[in-house]
Structure 1
C-alpha cells in the first residue's frame, strides 16, 4: 500500500498556510498526473482563495512551499492559456483571469497534460508488436475521455469549497 501526501490549506484569510498530511492509500492510482499539473492546480487554488486580489509569484512560492522558478514556468503557461492574468512592476502579481466558478478542472488538466496517454503505443507508432491486432488503445482512449469528462464536472471553486469543508480527508 502506498503513501500519498496531500496539502490542505489551514487558513483562508488573506494569507494562506499549508500543512502536509499523509494518508494511506488502499490502492495505487490508475492515472498519475505530472508534478507540473499538481503545482498548477495548487497555484490556481491559492488564487481562487484570493479571488479578486493579486499575489506575487514569490508569495505564492512561499505559501505553497514550491520553487519560485518552477511556479514562474507554470504561471507563464497559465497566462498564455488565459487562466490567470499577470501584471508586471512594483505592484505586479498574478490573479485569476475569470471567476473560479468558470474554470473547470478538466480544462486545467488538458492544458497541463497535453500528452495524457496511458500507454506508449498510443503516442509512438511501432512501439508494440501487437499494435495491428490490439484494440486496447481504443478502450484506453475512451477511458481517458471519461476521466476528463468527470473532471469537467468540477470547477476550481468546487476544489476550494471541498478543501474548506474537508476535515480529515484530502
Structure 2
C-alpha cells in the first residue's frame, strides 16, 4: 500500500508540530523550509488538519500553528483514513467504475481487503506520541533544516 504524498506530508506536519515545546507555535514557512515542500501545498494540508481538529491555527501578529490535541490522542490510522482520498487498492474496491469481468468470482479482492484492514489495524495501534519517542533527535534534525 502506498500512501499519497498528501497523507505523507500531513503526517510530517503533525510530526513537526509534535516536536515543538508546549505553547510554542510555528508557521507554514518554517515547515516548508524544514521539509523542502511547497508552502502552497502545505497550506492546503494545514487547512484540512485544522478542519479535522488535529491542529490549531491562530491568526494575527502572535499567530501560528500548533497541535490542537495531545500527541497521545492522535491515532495514525485515523489520520491516514481522513487524509487519503481513496483507500481502494484495486478497481473492484470502488463502488463505481469497476469494469473487471472477474469481480463476481474473484477471491483476490477479499485477500487485498484483508491486507488493507491489517495495514490500517497496525496504524491504529500507534499514536503521534509513539512516533515522537525520539523527539529530541527529530527536533535536532528539523532545527538544522529550519536554519538553512
2:99 equivalent in structure 1: 127
2:71 equivalent in structure 1: 100
2:18 equivalent in structure 1: 48
- Regions of 4+ moved over 3 Å: 162-166
Aligned equivalents of 2:137, 2:31: Cα separation in 1: 22
SS of equivalent to 1:115: coil
Q: 1:1-170 maps to which residues of 2 (within 5 A)?
A: 31-52=1-22, 53-123=24-94, 124-162=96-134
Deviation at 1:59, TM superposition (A): 1.3
Conserved 8 A contact 1:54-1:95 = yes
Please provide the CA RMSD for this pair: 1.8
Aligned equivalents of 2:41, 2:66: Cα separation in 1: 17
Conserved 8 A contact 1:51-1:95 = no
Aligned equivalents of 1:157, 1:150: Cα separation in 2: 15
Conserved 8 A contact 2:91-2:98 = no
TM-score by length of 1: 0.74
SS of equivalent to 2:48: helix
**What is the aligned residue count?**
136
Conserved 8 A contact 2:4-2:84 = yes
Pick 1 or 2: higher relative contact order, CA cutoff 8 A, min separation 6: 2
- The structure whose residues are more often helix, as a share, is 2
- Gaps of at least 5 residues in structure 2 are 139-148
TM-score by length of 2: 0.84
